[in-house]
Structure 1
């Protein structure tokens, strides 16, 4: 275990212990016993979820577990202070906890339905252990209309636009074409997943399984397409090395506030970052991540799932309540929320962008779930490890002038080794 990992684990243990003491105190305070929920959300998302559960008929205590909710929940399990419910950001955690015997099966309400490709991710041995409560549309490109009046229609047009704007930026004639928060590894895997789902949709669906071929043609083709774009001189503000030090929030600021970059690939939750930093009345707009053909490529979706822990009171009932069509209305009215539940009316969204994204999620045949969130063990990626770290290494290679063939050889070898170490793939 590295020093950084050890410190993170100790922080998670201390947070878990403190939250456990709070939970015990709340349970002994008399009156109706509260239901405790552990979530990954913070700031505005945390506030809005608290508004949602304020309508639940029993008191609900919401605890933010920070970025590493897995470490938090393991510490709480060891301490004997497991919460009643958790909101998990990865379906792999749902099946892992179910196999450990930590979870209770759950039954959604009759008002719950999700797009094809999402439902079976939260089951184990034919039993459902989780329900989707929040979705993330991860196939969007953000820009200011005044800075980019004409959107690229397909991948080739995006490459040509990046070359043209990159040349102007090098000569001091304008902003960099792309903002990229590569310090956050998930940003790079989102790029990879969008490209892979476009060039090899069938292979995309198999890469999360035990027979995944991480050194095969489809992965190489996707990396080759990324290398074509990422290696363009002047593509990124400050170059590739600066992008690797840039956090995602800073990359959003580069587009909407300082206007030193033109385009940003980011999920719908980017809107939460835009709000505080938008300069002037002009709001950014979005278009679908460009595929090989005009009209956009496949749709990559992430999501957060609610689970109820075994031997806890009130957890299963709260999870079922969260699947009702009207439960998340406070968050829908506030904005910044995309429901995975297709029984939620499109008119519940207060803005046209939200309505458009909800319709896109319901279009048949295009949806793929975030691949890195499906991968087993440490391969799934977190800061400094797994597929996130491997993609950062690949990005460093192609922006440092390493030939594409060599960068792809290194990356696919590392991906295959990480898959084997995690017990899946080759």
Structure 2
């Protein structure tokens, strides 16, 4: 055990010294973790996987450790459950749902972060981010790759040089109305993916009801039939109008997220505005000829309340083993330097407030990152805070309720009553 403590102390000192000078070349001799292997399981694939592996390369060069990355895609929770059941968990995992982090921690599957890593998080992250990784007073993880889900994207070419992005909800509604009055269908909505609709609701609810009510609804301390929910839906209904959507409501319910982006930035656009998180940039790059920051521009989700509010999502890194290599990697990944390596490559936003804005490759991403880190009122994606049966199931729960509301707002009483019944059952099962 003493040998392991010494090795971890050596790599900690090495990372601190080397971190001051930026990425270093591979050491001339094996590092303090030579011969150790570390496995990381997370959602990232394709370009994201390649970017994350560049981060891991720097860690390997400095320490002599070998890090293997496994992409679980959307099946990370299932893969992780299988690995845990088989007694062979990865050393580190990226988990998108704080609710799952809580479940794993309370089941004894996670290893609390060591004091050195916690000190990095205390110094470089706002307290709200630490709270997200804390379960029953113990810190188990941190958000490495975040999403700013309070962004609205528009095609600058379609709207012209005189377009002024709306700052308030009333201005946003008026913008949509004016575009519609000129014969254009302004707003693309990917309603086939229910999570895009829950993101709409969460932004509106945070601003109309406030942070405290948002927290209570996420924990099911108030009912889904509460008047505050109806108020948010009615506010949202001001933009979910058939004349504002290409093909009307029925078409929006059949449009998936990527298609909604293509409908704005593709070669044959059907609308000029689309709402979703900063990962819209990835869909633009992969599926359209538009250039982020030039053709594709962004403005903050229009204000309804008095302060700036941001709904965030992201992937929380947690440790499942207490090996020296695991501890050293977690400490490195918590650092602003590790985040900056990916930030420079694009397609990434960090909640680490010590990542310099000029590390990001374009003005739009810099703006998105600045709004995320500087938000007065930040909350995590509500659906990811809920039991997965309620908040993350295609065609059911929260996702289905929002699709039903888009389809027929007049049925709001039935929709909310059914959602409340599902929420009651989900929380009684203890899946939170």
Maintained 8 Å contact 2:129/2:142: no
Q: CA separation in 1, counterparts of 2:395 and 2:39? A: 31
Do the aligned partners of residues 68 and 280 (structure 1) sit closer, same or farther apart at CA in structure 2, a change above 3 Å counting? closer
Do the aligned partners of residues 291 and 67 (structure 1) sit closer, same or farther apart at CA in structure 2, a change above 3 Å counting? same
Q: CA separation in 2, counterparts of 1:38 and 1:280? A: 32
Match of 2:217 in 1: 207
Q: 1:49-68 residue pairs with structure 2 within 5 A?
A: 49-56=52-59, 57=63, 58-68=65-75
The one of 392, 417, 426 equivalent to 2:421 is 417
Q: What secondary structure is seen at the aligned counterpart in 1 of 2:273?
A: strand
Q: 1:106-255 residue pairs with structure 2 within 5 A?
A: 106-107=113-114, 108=117, 110-112=119-121, 113-148=124-159, 149-168=163-182, 173-174=183-184, 176-201=185-210, 202-230=212-240, 232-255=241-264
The one of 99, 103, 106 equivalent to 2:110 is 103
Q: CA separation in 2, counterparts of 1:377 and 1:279? A: 36
Q: What secondary structure is seen at the aligned counterpart in 1 of 2:157?
A: coil
Q: CA separation in 2, counterparts of 1:347 and 1:162? A: 33
Match of 1:15 in 2: none
For these two proteins, the number of residue pairs brought into alignment is 381
Q: CA deviation at 1:192?
A: 0.2
Matched, 1:289 2:278: no
Structure 1's unaligned 5+ residue stretches are: 1-30
Q: CA separation in 1, counterparts of 2:376 and 2:174? A: 29
Q: What secondary structure is seen at the aligned counterpart in 1 of 2:408?
A: helix
The one of 330, 343, 347 equivalent to 2:354 is 343
Q: CA deviation at 1:378?
A: 1.1
After TM superposition, the structure 1 stretch with the greater mean CA deviation from structure 2, 84-93 or 309-318, is 309-318
Q: CA separation in 1, counterparts of 2:357 and 2:170? A: 33
**What TM-score comes out, normalization by structure 2 length?**
0.83
Q: 1:349-364 residue pairs with structure 2 within 5 A?
A: 349-363=360-374
Match of 1:326 in 2: 337
Q: Deviations over 1:73-129 (max 9, x none)?
A: 111222232111100111111111000110100132544332342221221221111
Q: CA separation in 2, counterparts of 1:166 and 1:411? A: 29
Q: Deviations over 1:334-361 (max 9, x none)?
A: 1121111112223322332233223222
Match of 2:270 in 1: 260
Q: CA deviation at 1:152?
A: 2.5
Q: Deviations over 1:11-66 (max 9, x none)?
A: xxxxxxxxxxxxxxxxxxxx824211111112211111111111113111111112
Q: Deviations over 1:255-309 (max 9, x none)?
A: 111221111001111111111334366521111111236x985111111110011
**What TM-score comes out, normalization by structure 1 length?**
0.84
After TM superposition, the structure 1 stretch with the greater mean CA deviation from structure 2, 139-148 or 416-425, is 416-425
Q: What secondary structure is seen at the aligned counterpart in 1 of 2:49?
A: helix
Q: Deviations over 1:232-256 (max 9, x none)?
A: 2322112222212211111111111
Q: CA separation in 2, counterparts of 1:280 and 1:83? A: 39
Q: CA deviation at 1:211?
A: 1.5
Q: CA separation in 2, counterparts of 1:64 and 1:271? A: 21
Larger helix proportion of the pair: 2
Q: Deviations over 1:351-394 (max 9, x none)?
A: 32233223222325221221111112411223222211221121
Do the aligned partners of residues 146 and 377 (structure 1) sit closer, same or farther apart at CA in structure 2, a change above 3 Å counting? closer
Q: CA separation in 1, counterparts of 2:181 and 2:365? A: 35
Do the aligned partners of residues 365 and 329 (structure 1) sit closer, same or farther apart at CA in structure 2, a change above 3 Å counting? closer
Q: What secondary structure is seen at the aligned counterpart in 2 of 1:357?
A: helix
Q: What secondary structure is seen at the aligned counterpart in 2 of 1:338?
A: coil
Q: Deviations over 1:182-236 (max 9, x none)?
A: 1111100110011001111131121122423211111110011112321x23221
Match of 1:24 in 2: none
Q: 1:377-392 residue pairs with structure 2 within 5 A?
A: 377-392=388-403
- RMSD of aligned C-alpha atoms? 2.2
Q: CA separation in 2, counterparts of 1:198 and 1:223? A: 12
Q: CA separation in 2, counterparts of 1:160 and 1:352? A: 27
Do the aligned partners of residues 124 and 93 (structure 1) sit closer, same or farther apart at CA in structure 2, a change above 3 Å counting? same
Q: What secondary structure is seen at the aligned counterpart in 2 of 1:290?
A: coil
Match of 1:36 in 2: 39
Q: CA separation in 1, counterparts of 2:361 and 2:249? A: 38
Do the aligned partners of residues 296 and 68 (structure 1) sit closer, same or farther apart at CA in structure 2, a change above 3 Å counting? farther
Structure 2's unaligned 5+ residue stretches are: 1-33
The one of 76, 80, 89 equivalent to 2:96 is 89
Q: CA separation in 1, counterparts of 2:139 and 2:36? A: 26
